[in-house]
């Protein structure tokens, strides 16, 4: 591509990045905390594209103002042939298509298939802050699983817990509640899994989002993918809910 075409591509990429940053689309690619950096990158791309176009528009005028030396007709002919031989193929403009796909089509968040083919990412937390006295107590997936495994449910006993995640089924049909945890972006997403026991709905479809209310149980199992510990929750009530604004669990720090 020539410089004007490159500038057009930079401009379109910047617009696509800003579009993702000003809408919820960016949450399908990166964690929410990176939004300011994403918006800054979009602005820089657009400014760079505009500066490149401004420079290219001014350059012919500057060239015309300089005195031109006489060159033989053959040299002009060879230059024309040389320039024609290096003309960029129009097929390169197909690179624009992924940008329109980014703007028009929102990719789905990672779901049950990825979760059940990846080992649990649960790791020992730095500590266990005091829990509020709400009933039921809302917890994210990582907080419940970390307390259940590494604190042995010390602060969970006797409490009603409310957790939201999507359903995943193993090869035997056993249900799990899952949330994909991000360290940076969707490319490094890993699942945090909680097994379901108790009053489980009779029919569960993979990737259905559930809000589960239940109590801590000492029951646990090992993830068949990486051998990590998967705790359980004793379900007393489960309600289907819409996909949340941010489908990823960004409380995980890797």
pLDDT at 59 over 60: yes
The mean pLDDT of 236-252, rounded to a whole number, is 80
Question: Can you tell me which residue has the tokens 């979760």?
Answer: 115
pLDDT per residue over 126-149, tens digit each? 888 889 989 999 999 999 999 999
For residue 176 the two structure tokens come to: 């799990």
Given a cut of 70, whether residue 75 has pLDDT beyond it is no
- Can you give the pLDDT at residue 85? 44
Torsion sign, CA atoms 47, 52, 53, 58: positive
Q: Where are the alpha helices (DSSP H) in 70-228?
A: 73-85, 97-104, 112-116, 141-150
Q: Worst-scoring range by mean pLDDT, 16-25, 76-85, 88-97?
A: 76-85
pLDDT at 170 over 60: yes
pLDDT of residue 186: 65
Two structure tokens written together for 146: 């970390």
Tokens standing for residue 56: 């290219």
Higher-confidence position of 170 and 73: 170
pLDDT band at 113 (very low <50, low <70, confident <90, very high): confident
Residue 4 has pLDDT above 80, yes or no: no
Residue with the larger pLDDT of the pair 172 and 213: 213
Q: Which residues pair with 210 in a beta bridge?
A: 165, 240
The predicted model gives 23-37 an average pLDDT of 73
Task: Encode pLDDT of 184-238 as tens digits.
Answer: 776 677 899 999 999 998 888 999 999 999 999 999 999 989 999 999 999 999 9
What CA–CA distance (Å, rounded) separates 141 from 162? 10
Q: Enter the CATH code of domain 112-240.
A: 2.40.50
Residue 239 has pLDDT above 90, yes or no: yes
- pLDDT the model gives residue 66: 55
Q: Considering the chain, what is the average pLDDT of its residues?
A: 79
Q: Ranked by mean pLDDT, which of 95-109, 176-190, 211-225 comes out on top? A: 211-225
- Nearest alpha-carbon partner for 57 in 19, 3, 15: 3
CATH 2.40.50 in the chain, residue ranges: 112-240
- Comparing 77 with 231, the larger pLDDT belongs to 231
SS3 content of the chain, % helix, strand, coil (to 5): 40, 20, 35
- Cis preceding-peptide flag for 136 (omega within 30 of 0): yes
pLDDT of residue 161: 95
Q: For residues 156 and 153, what is the distance between their CA atoms, to the nearest angstrom?
A: 5
Give the pLDDT of residue 81: 46
122 and 192 Cβ atoms separated by less than 8 Å: yes
């Amino acid at each position: 591509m020539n410089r004007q075409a490159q500038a057009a591509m930079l401009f379109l990429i910047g617009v696509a990045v800003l579009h993702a940053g000003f809408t919820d689309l960016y949450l399908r690619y990166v964690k929410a905390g990176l939004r300011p950096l994403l918006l800054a990158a979009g602005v820089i791309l657009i400014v760079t594209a505009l500066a490149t176009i401004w420079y290219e528009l001014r350059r012919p005028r500057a060239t015309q103002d300089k005195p031109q030396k006489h060159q033989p007709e053959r040299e002009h002919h060879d230059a024309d042939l040389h320039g024609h031989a290096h003309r960029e193929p129009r097929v390169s403009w197909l690179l624009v298509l992924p940008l329109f796909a980014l703007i028009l089509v929102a990719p789905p968040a990672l779901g049950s298939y990825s979760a059940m083919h990846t080992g649990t990412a649960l790791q020992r937390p730095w500590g266990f802050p005091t829990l509020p006295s709400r009933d039921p107590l809302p917890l994210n997936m990582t907080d419940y699983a970390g307390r259940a495994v590494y604190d042995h449910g010390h602060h969970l006993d006797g409490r009603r817990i409310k957790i939201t995640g999507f359903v995943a089924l193993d090869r035997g049909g056993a249900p799990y509640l899952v949330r994909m945890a991000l360290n940076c972006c969707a490319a490094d997403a890993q699942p945090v899994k909680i097994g379901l026991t108790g009053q489980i709905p009779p029919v569960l479809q993979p990737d259905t989002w559930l809000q589960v209310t239940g109590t801590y149980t000492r029951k646990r199992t090992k993830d068949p993918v990486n051998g990590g510990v998967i705790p359980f929750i004793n379900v007393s009530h489960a309600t289907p809910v819409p996909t949340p604004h941010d489908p990823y669990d960004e409380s995980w720090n890797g």
